Structure formats: structure tokens, C-alpha cells
Amino acid sequence: MAEKSKRFLNNMLDSARFAGTLVDDLLTFSQMCRAALRPAPVDLGQILRVIVQECENDTPTHHIEWVTGDAAFLQLAVRNLNWRCAT
């Protein structure tokens, strides 16, 4: 099999795995939406650290490059997560 064909097949397999994971995550999310909310103070820094660690553990053969962001835009995005703070 030609190298180009192998690359296409690998891309399709990766995409199929990603789609499966996405569907699973959406199902989990839909189940969470049925549960009663339990508002409490949240440490977003800790949540992000856990997510970063999970990503690094889940993809040990891939290089994950964490990029910088614009503080003003990130602040706006987080502010808009809470309707009481949105302007």
C-alpha cells in the first residue's frame, strides 16, 4: 500500500476515534444536564490543571503544545459564562 494511502487511512481512523469520543462526551453531558445543579465555589485553576494532566496522560505519544492567550479575551469569555456578570 502506498505511503499516501496509509496516511489517509490513519487520518480516517483517528477521525473516527475522535468522533466516537465526541459522541460519548455529548451523551455524558446530556446525562449531566438532567442532574440537579449543586452550586458551590469553584477553583478554575485546579480544574484546568486536572484537564491539562488528563490530556497529557491520554496522549503520551503526541506532543501537546499549550499556547498563550489574550488575557482580555479570556476574561471576557469567562465573564460571559456567568449571566449575572455579563454586560
Please state the rounded mean pLDDT for residues 27-48: 82
Asked whether the beta carbons of 68 and 75 are under 8 A apart, the reply is no
On whether residue 84 sits in a domain, the answer given is no
Looking at the whole model, is its pTM more than 0.85? no
Q: For residue 9, tell me if it sits in a domain.
A: yes
Cβ contacts of residue 75 below 8 Å, gap of 6+? Answer: none
69 in any annotated domain = yes
**Does 71 fall in a domain?**
yes
Distance CA 47, CA 84 (A): 22
Tally of structural domains, the chain: 1
State the Cα–Cα distance between residues 12 and 44, nearest whole angstrom.
35
H-state helical runs in 3-83: 3-34, 44-58, 71-79
Q: Is residue 85 part of a domain?
A: no
| Torsion region of 40: left, alpha or beta (phi above 0 gives left; psi -120 to 50 gives alpha) | beta
Give residue 18's identity as a one-letter amino acid code. Answer: F
Q: Is residue 84 scored above 70 in pLDDT? A: no
**Digit-coded pLDDT (tens) for 55-82:** 778 777 777 777 788 888 888 877 777 6
Residue ranges making up the domain that contains 48: 3-79
